[in-house]
Amino acid sequence: MDLHRYLGGTTLQSLKLATIPTSSSSRFAFQPIHKTPTLDFRLRYSQSKKPPLPHLIGALSTSSAVQTSSDTESPYNIGGKPQWKAAIDFKWIRDNEEAVAANIKNRNSNANLELVLELYEKLLNLQKEVERIRAERNTVANKMKGKMEPSERQRLIEEGKSLKEGLAALEENLVKLTDELQREAQRIPNMTHPDVPIGGEDSSTIRKMVGSPRKFSFPVKDHVQLGKELDLFDFDAAAEISGSKFYYLKNEAVLLEIGLVNWSLSEVMKRGFIPLTTPEIVRSSVVEKCGFQPRGTTTQVYSIDDTDQCLIGTAEIPVGGLHMDSILADSLLPLKYVAFSHCFRTEAGAAGTATRGLYRVHQFSKVEMFVFCRPEESEYYHEELIKIEEDLFSSLGLHFKTLDMASEDLGAPAYRKFDVEAWMPGLERFGEISSASNCRDYQSRRLGIRYRPSEPVTQAKKTKPNLAPTQFVHTLNATACAVPRMIVCLLENYQQQDGSVVIPEPLRPFMGGLHFIAPKS
């Protein structure tokens, strides 16, 4: 599930994570619960088959920034001092002012482009003045090296002192102006793919429709009623222990969660993804660098009092930070990870029958895919990620549709986003079960993740080639399995007239061979 639309303002900062071993391959033995062969996967950092290189659609995502609301302070503390800086291409923003302005409007962003350009112009002028004063000070210093009359030396000393004091004031103003420019520019959202529909969520278009709704010959129950009759959940006890929107899973529902996690991990690993478990507490700056806002009255992030840390809302955040402030070798790309984690969301403002039961909760398990790749390959891997999601949900026999999400529903980091919504007969509607986003270089410019192309650059009149300049990688993320909503889909779609629920065949080996969940006698 996509987190960007939910994290609308919260609290966070920066975390160094353990690096993945750099060996060319690793073996992972995966053993399901019941009498199934061990799956032996060889995972490689570089693929044996290189993907085709799709056409490059301009440097649209060079204007990287965070979309914020008026009640946020990110990425600055109360004193206004920046905690980090994004590598924003201000010249590109200025040269493409019309396109950036249209994009801000299409995304319904509150970014102030006019102020950004005004501050940038002031910054350029101030930098020129600082350089001019520095040059004058150096000239005075050089004059004082020679022989001269004492009166002349004293005059130069006074002039040098005056220049030094003036330069210090200018440099202080330069720092403040740079910070203000960063703060405003980071509100500018990523650029948008030219094929993205313009407008709100209702403007999203259907890319694919898979299957058809199951026809029932008996009254359909929703997952809450099914869970109660089959003794699978306990919402009441969880509400007493933790509060509303928490739950206990019981009996076969526990096996179903573990089975879904193991099945989705094994399926994605077959496609060359490296498995991870991640920290579930991260620094606020890492969350901000990934494009989320941790402060504000409508936050979806749980922050930890008296610390700069918070609970993650998706594994996208710690996986995105895995190679923070790194230069990756070209031979390692693409880096493809599949991460299991628990996720925590405040779900501020969420209410109503559409969110009852397991559909919208504060804590859940999720399997998330994440890709670091070369810029020219990100659209290829975006299609690969949505194809993986569609294959997983098709194999479970779900009826679903894939949507190309409209501009106002993308969230600040996404260049393009595909959502998958599955039919939930008990809720009598489609519900989002996953998303796949291409963020291009929006996150990598904040996280400081680059790669160095392997081809050297040869310059004229030089016999030895120079190393190619580094470039920012592109990042993508997609949900393989958001467990609670998958449980909702499976219970409601596979319910039987006698009150039992059939387990889809792909999950049975991961649930001890269980074929169905029967009512308790």
Question: Residue 372: which H helix or E strand, with range?
Answer: strand 363-373
Q: Is 432 among the catalytic positions? A: yes
* CA end-to-end span of the chain: 36
Beta bridge partners of 449: 326
> Which pair of structure tokens corresponds to residue 171?
């440099």
- How many Cβ atoms from other residues are within 10 Å of residue 296's Cβ? 21
Question: Residue 238: which H helix or E strand, with range?
Answer: helix 235-241
Q: Is 508 among the catalytic positions? A: no
Residue of 107, 187, 360, 374 with catalytic role: 360
- 498 CB burial (10 A radius; 0-12, 13-18, 19+): exposed
Is 375 within 8 Å of 56 (Cβ atoms)? yes
DSSP 18: P
Cis peptide preceding 334, ω within 30 of 0: yes
Q: How far is the C-alpha of 55 from the C-alpha of 112, rounded, in Å?
A: 31
Distance of CA 480 to the CA centre of its chain: 14
Is 476 within 8 Å of 439 (Cβ atoms)? yes
Nearest to 282 by CA among 338, 337, 321: 321
Q: For the CA atoms of the chain, what is the radius of gyration?
A: 27
Is 422 within 8 Å of 433 (Cβ atoms)? yes
Q: Is 295 among the catalytic positions? A: no
Residue of 435, 437, 446, 450 with catalytic role: 435
* Helix, strand, coil content of the chain in percent (nearest 5): 35, 20, 45
Beta bridge partners of 454: none
Q: How far is the C-alpha of 454 from the C-alpha of 263, rounded, in Å?
A: 37
Cis peptide preceding 465, ω within 30 of 0: no
**Locate tokens 């470039």: which residue?**
471
In 115-234 the beta strands, taken as DSSP E runs, fall at: 205-210, 233-234
Output the CA–CA distances (angstroms, integers) from residue 196 to 3, 113, 289, in the order listed: 19, 22, 24
**Encoded amino acid at 270, one letter:** K
Q: Is 356 among the catalytic positions? A: no
Residue of 183, 345, 440, 450 with catalytic role: 345
Q: How far is the C-alpha of 383 from the C-alpha of 379, rounded, in Å?
A: 6
- 500 CB burial (10 A radius; 0-12, 13-18, 19+): middle
Cis peptide preceding 279, ω within 30 of 0: no
Helix (H, G, I), strand (E, B) or coil at 124: helix
Residue of 63, 485, 492, 508 with catalytic role: 485
Q: Is 435 among the catalytic positions? A: yes
Residue of 284, 432, 440, 445 with catalytic role: 432
**Active-site residue numbers?**
345, 360, 432, 435, 485
